[in-house]
């Protein structure tokens, strides 16, 4: 049995944590699924396991839902992450298994473990592609099936970092997936292309800090892992048209935001 992943720096007052996976399969899977705490890593205590739901959707019964909720938003993502063969498999899928968890201000990460435990079971039974909705990432079902049930928490499996070029030639960088921990995503603007790697490390390390339970609020001054002082402000979409975050986000800068 798996012990819930800890949040050793947990600070009360965070938001609701939300995780959503869509597993696609060409075959209808067993009902009920043979989920095992030992084999799949379902946490053995805490609220995580109780927060998870799984809903089966059959394409033949609801083709419009498949088109609107799976194919239209995620086909390109699957192709970019996994290649054309996986995209063709996703396009041909006859069944979707929507695995979700929502937990208010969780003090551990058992809900994240529980979602992946169900996904591991689903993939062992035949699902071929798993879409991590909030992190905007796709995984091969074989890779999810191979997850070690007793593995340690890895923030970079749960959060994705994105970079895009702004009109002035600098880069915008942002995270997706921190809503899994009830925390806002992070944005950095005006990044020099030469500093992309350094910026990725800063975002990765701050994401790990937030996953561990710390909180960052607008107006906070943060000591970045590289020693810089950063100031946090609420991110607004008008700040950068290339940044694609869905939900609350903080922009981190080297100077306090203008009043």
Q: In 10 A of CB 134, how many CB atoms?
A: 20
In degrees to the nearest 10, what's the CA dihedral of 56, 101, 202, 151? -80
pLDDT the model gives residue 128: 98
Q: In what order do the strands lie in the sheet with 229-234?
A: 160-165, 171-176, 185-191, 249-253, 229-234, 221-223
Output phi, psi for 256, to 5 deg: -60, 150
pLDDT the model gives residue 1: 62
Output phi, psi for 122, to 5 deg: -60, -40
Q: Supply the DSSP symbol for 118.
A: H
Contacts of 118 (CB under 8 A, 6+ apart): 33, 35, 40, 42, 52, 54, 99
Query: What distance in Å separates the CA atoms of residue 250 and residue 71, rounded to the nearest whole number?
Result: 30
pLDDT the model gives residue 256: 65
pLDDT tens digit sequence for 89-129: 999 999 999 999 999 999 999 999 999 999 999 999 999 99
The answer to whether 19 touches 134, Cβ cutoff 8 Å, is yes
Using pLDDT thresholds of 50, 70 and 90, give the confidence band for residue 47: confident
Domains of the chain: which residue ranges? Answer: 16-145, 159-253
pLDDT tens digit sequence for 177-212: 999 999 999 999 999 999 999 999 999 999 999 999
188 conformational bin, left if phi > 0, alpha if psi -120 to 50, beta if neither: beta
pTM of the model: 0.94
Among candidate residues 26, 246, 211, 29, the one with its CA nearest the CA of residue 134: 246
Region 21-39 average pLDDT: 91
State percent of the chain over pLDDT 90. Answer: 87
The answer to whether 134 touches 144, Cβ cutoff 8 Å, is no
Region 145-160 average pLDDT: 96
In degrees to the nearest 10, what's the CA dihedral of 68, 70, 74, 79? -120
């Amino acid at each position: 049995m798996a012990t819930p992943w800890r949040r050793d720096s947990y600070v009360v007052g965070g938001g609701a944590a939300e995780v959503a996976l869509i597993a696609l399969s060409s075959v209808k899977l067993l009902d009920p699924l043979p989920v095992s705490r030992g084999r799949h890593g379902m946490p053995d205590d805490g609220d995580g396991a109780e927060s998870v739901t799984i809903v089966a959707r059959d394409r033949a019964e609801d083709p419009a839902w498949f088109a609107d909720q799976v194919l239209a938003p995620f086909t390109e993502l699957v192709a970019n992450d996994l290649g054309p063969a996986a995209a063709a498999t996703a396009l041909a899928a006859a069944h979707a298994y929507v695995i979700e968890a929502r937990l208010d201000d969780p003090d551990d990460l058992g809900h994240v473990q529980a979602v992946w435990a169900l996904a591991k079971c689903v993939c062992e039974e035949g699902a071929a592609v798993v879409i991590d909705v909030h992190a905007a990432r796709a995984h091969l079902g074989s890779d999810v099936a191979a997850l070690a049930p007793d593995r340690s928490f890895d923030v970079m499996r749960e959060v994705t970092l994105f970079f895009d070029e702004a009109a002035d030639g600098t880069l915008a960088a942002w995270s997706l997936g921190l809503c899994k921990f009830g925390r806002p995503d992070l944005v950095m603007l005006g990044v020099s292309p030469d500093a992309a790697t350094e910026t990725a490390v800063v975002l990765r390390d701050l994401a790990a800090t937030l996953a561990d339970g710390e909180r960052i609020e607008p107006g906070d001054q943060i000591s970045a892992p590289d020693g810089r002082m950063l100031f946090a402000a609420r991110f607004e979409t008008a700040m950068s048209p290339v940044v694609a975050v869905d939900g609350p986000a903080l922009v981190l800068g080297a100077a306090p935001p203008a009043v």
